[in-house]
């Protein structure tokens, strides 16, 4: 994946996080893709919406019980890395 595609994918995930949080997180707070989403207010309902959004947008199935480490959901960078790994691509 080239730099532009990677940046576009991060933007899509950023938008999904914003929508999942129902606007409770500021757009500017999501601009730093290494920010821990839990510290800026993504709550359990937000994560529920985000997982639904990721599944439907990227066509992946995310089963948290099968994932020992949930840190892949903590930042936008981590989410993108996880999605790419699921597709067999490198970030």
Partner 1 sequence: MSGRSIIRDALRDCLDRHRRRPAVAGGSEALSYEELGRRIEAAAPLLPAGHVGFCLANRPEYVILYFATLVAGHLPLLLDANFNTGEIEAIRGDCGLDALVMERTKAETLDLPGKGEPIPYGDEVVVLPLARDAGPAFAPRPDTEVCRFTSGTTGRPKCLEFSGHAVVSAARNWVLGTAMTVDDRTLCLAALSNGLAFNTSLLSTFLAGGELCFLKGVPLTRPVARRIAESGITRLVAFPTLYRNFAAPGGPDPSLLAGLKHAISAGAPLWPDVREEFRALYGLDISDYYGIAETGPCTFERDADHHAGLGQPLPGVEIRIAPGAEDAPGTGEVLVRTASMTSGYLNHPGLFEARVDAEGFYHSGDRGRMIDGRLHLVGRTQDHINVAGRKIDPTEIIAVVSALDGVADAVAFPDEDLNREALVHLVVVASTQEVTRSAVAEACRARLAPYKVPGRISFVQEIPRNGIGKPRIALLREQLGTRKETVA
Instruction: Round to whole Å and give the CA distance between 81 and 67.
Output: 14
Contact between 63 and partner 1 (CB under 8 A)? yes
Q: How far is the CB of 24 from partner 1 (least distance, A)?
A: 4
Please identify, using beta-carbon distances, which residue of 6 and 35 lies nearer to partner 1.
35
Residue with tokens 């066509």: 59
Q: For the chain, how many helices (H) and strands (E)?
A: 3, 0
Cβ of residue 16: shortest distance to partner 1, in angstroms? 12
Does the footprint of partner 1 cover residue 60 (CB under 8 A)? Answer: no
Dihedral of alpha carbons 10, 84, 22, 74, sign: negative
Binding window for partner 1 (CB under 8 A); candidates: 5-13, 55-63, 79-87: 55-63
d(CA 40, CA 47): 13
Binding site for partner 1 (CB under 8 A): 19, 21-24, 26, 41, 43-45, 47-49, 51-52, 55-56, 61-65
């Amino acid at each position: 994946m080239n730099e532009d595609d990677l940046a576009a994918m991060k933007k899509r995930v950023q938008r999904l996080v914003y929508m999942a949080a129902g606007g409770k997180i500021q757009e500017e707070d999501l601009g730093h893709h290494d920010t821990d989403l839990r510290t800026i207010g993504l709550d359990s309902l937000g994560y529920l919406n985000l997982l639904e959004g990721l599944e439907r947008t990227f066509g992946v199935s995310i089963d948290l019980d099968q994932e020992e480490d949930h840190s892949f959901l903590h930042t936008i960078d981590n989410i993108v890395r996880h999605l790419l790994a699921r597709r067999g691509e490198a970030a």
